[in-house]
Each structure stands twice: as C-alpha cells, then as structure tokens.
Structure 1
C-alpha cells in the first residue's frame, strides 16, 4: 500500500532503529492519550521509551512530528483491503475494520486524541489528512472493481463511497456518543452500497 512520506520521522527504518521508533511511538501514543497534545513533552516521551532525549529531538524534532510519524506507522501497519469479489462484502469488511479500530481499547482513544489535536495544530491536521487519503486510496479499488463488473454506474466516485461508509461510524465515535457496534457497521456498509448502486455517487 502507499506509504505516508514527507513529514519528520516518517522514513521506514530497520534493526535497532526500528525498535527505537516502535518504543518512542508507543510512548508518545500513551502520553497523547493521557495528556492530550498540549501535555506531551519530548523529554518525557524519551524517558517513557527508555531512549536518549537527543535521539528523540534529532529524529522527530517536535510533538507534531511525532504524531505525523505515529500516523505514518498506523498507515504502514493497517490491514490491506478486502478482495471478496463483491461490493457488498468488500464494504462490509471495511466497516468491520473501522469498527474494530475505533472500539479498540488503545486505538480508539489514540485516534480520538489525534483528531482533537488536529483541530488546533496544522501539522497534525496535515498528517491526519495524509493518513486518511492513504486509507481511502487503499479501499477505493473495491468500488472501481464494482464499476468494472457493472455493479455500480460508470463514473461512480469511489473515494466518496468510502467516505460515506465511514462517516456514520465516526459520527457516533466523535460526536453523538450513540452505540457503535456490529449492527451499526453493517447498516453503514449496506447504505453505502445501496447508494452507490443507485448512482448517488456517480
């Protein structure tokens, strides 16, 4: 899948450097969940990760740089899209993956903290936007393949179908506080598929 690039700390290292990166990003995520972006300190992240402060300052430079690399790592490690051969089941797989992520005991609070941080920090917002562009690009082909099979109209905006599926899940997660469960995910997938077939996104 596409790799997020262009932000501090977003090269993909190996060996000891990879282990340092993993430890620092985990420590940064813990601090972000605990304190919000305003309470994250690079020296404290280094202490939590048990690495030298110089390493953290040299490699990431700023807290937004750390968050950008955290999102890059999430994009790198995200599961590839489903290839079931049918739009309905592909979209159901995507909805299930989003639900699993948002309901996860660590990933859910981490995404909430990053999204909150993006509202007040332009670099974090840019990194978040890159992350979601990567995920949309990963899943849009399931809609394009449906177009090629004749299941949905020519000219259907694949990215918009993916956004339409995601939106009700994130609305419950971030705004309404209504239950977020398998039934909600299933309805989001069915609604996005039905709208696509009806030509709403063409």
Structure 2
C-alpha cells in the first residue's frame, strides 16, 4: 500500500520542499481560511512547481492533513514541574500561548471550521490532538504514581479538560484566552481530578 500524500519524510531537497509548502499552506489558512486554500497558490507562495505539489499531496485535504501532522511533531514537548498542578498549568500556558499567537490562533480557527464539513480534515485534526494529549498524559500518570491523584484517573481526560475551555473561549468569543483563563482551566481540571471526577 502506498503512503498517504505528503507523509513520506525523506531528507534533502524533498524535505526543504515539504517545509516550504507546509509553511505556505499555514500562511494561507491563517490569512484567508480553508475556503481559499488552493494548491496552485500554495505552490506559487512556496516557490515550487505546481506539479510537485499536486503529485505529492494530491488535494487540499491531503495538504492540511500533512500540515497538522507536522504541527504535532513540531509542538513543544511537555514540561514536568514535579507536581500535577504545575504540569497542568504549563500545559494550559502552552495552549493559551498557541491560541494567542496571531498566526497559530488563526490557523487553528480555520482548520477547526474546515473539520466541521470535511471528514478528512476532521480525522487529521483528531490525530493532531491524539499526539498532543498523549505527549502530556504522562504528567498525570506520574501524579497518580506520586499519590497526588486517585488511582484509575484517566490521564488523557484530564489533559483534554485543561485545553477544552481555552478552545471554547476562542471559538465562542473570537478572543484568545488570557493568562487568568489558563490558570482557571488548570485549577479546574486539577480540582476535578483530585475529587475523582476522572476516575474510570
């Protein structure tokens, strides 16, 4: 079976082309939204051949899927502070920073909007969050091992509980969450976890 378009990651010129194309695609999404994402325009912006883009990614949704995979890989690793609350605060701070960033925040809004009407984009977005949640889940698991949280706590559910209100604020108000919002999200998820809300 052949690989999905855009998922082969050799080095050299091919890697440089991929980097340039994904950067251009992200720029278009942030500036104009999913509806205006066009492979020919992306090729022009990336200064690569249109045929190369069509052959490698095949479609706009293939390009978005690869962009999300790349973003998941490039996201900052988890920060371990020695306590569950500290780790959840670090996670909330990273999510807040991402959503407040002029390019990243606009890009996420565009991709989330596209995911509501395009199944392949929705699948790619789910994979992105699976990677990011799995990156931070060990912080909660370590908290369980230290006795900070009840045994059986669903680590991934706790991590999702931190970011959910921050994304909701962005999507419902159009305004990126601020630092107090990130602190509230971390505190609320932690309090719920301590109370056993996330015990499976």
Normalising by the smaller structure, the TM-score range is over 0.9
**Distance apart, 1:153 and its partner CA:** 0.4
**Distance apart, 1:97 and its partner CA:** 0.3
In structure 2, the residue matched to 1:81 is 78
In structure 2, the residue matched to 1:105 is 102
Residue of 115, 119, 124 corresponding to 1:122: 119
Which secondary structure does the structure 2 equivalent of 1:55 belong to?
helix
- The answer to whether the aligner puts 1:171 opposite 2:168 as a matched pair is yes
Please give the alpha-carbon distance, in whole angstroms, between the structure 2 residues aligned to 1:75 and 1:147: 26
Residue of 185, 188, 192 corresponding to 2:185: 188
Q: What TM-score do the two structures reach when normalised by structure 2?
A: 0.94
Please give the alpha-carbon distance, in whole angstroms, between the structure 2 residues aligned to 1:195 and 1:103: 26
In structure 2, the residue matched to 1:3 is none
**Distance apart, 1:37 and its partner CA:** 2.1
**Distance apart, 1:156 and its partner CA:** 0.4
Contact 1:7 1:68 in 2 (8 A): no
Which secondary structure does the structure 2 equivalent of 1:151 belong to?
coil
In structure 2, the residue matched to 1:94 is 91
1:100-144 deviation line (CA, Å, top 9, x unaligned):
100001111001101111111110000000000010111111111
Aligned residue pairs, count: 197
In structure 1, the residue matched to 2:53 is 56
Please give the alpha-carbon distance, in whole angstroms, between the structure 2 residues aligned to 1:87 and 1:45: 42
Unaligned runs of 5+ in 1: 1-5
Which secondary structure does the structure 1 equivalent of 2:102 belong to?
coil
Residue of 129, 132, 137 corresponding to 1:135: 132
Contact 2:105 2:176 in 1 (8 A): no
**Distance apart, 1:34 and its partner CA:** 3.1
Q: 1:59 to 1:71 in 2, by over 3 A?
A: same
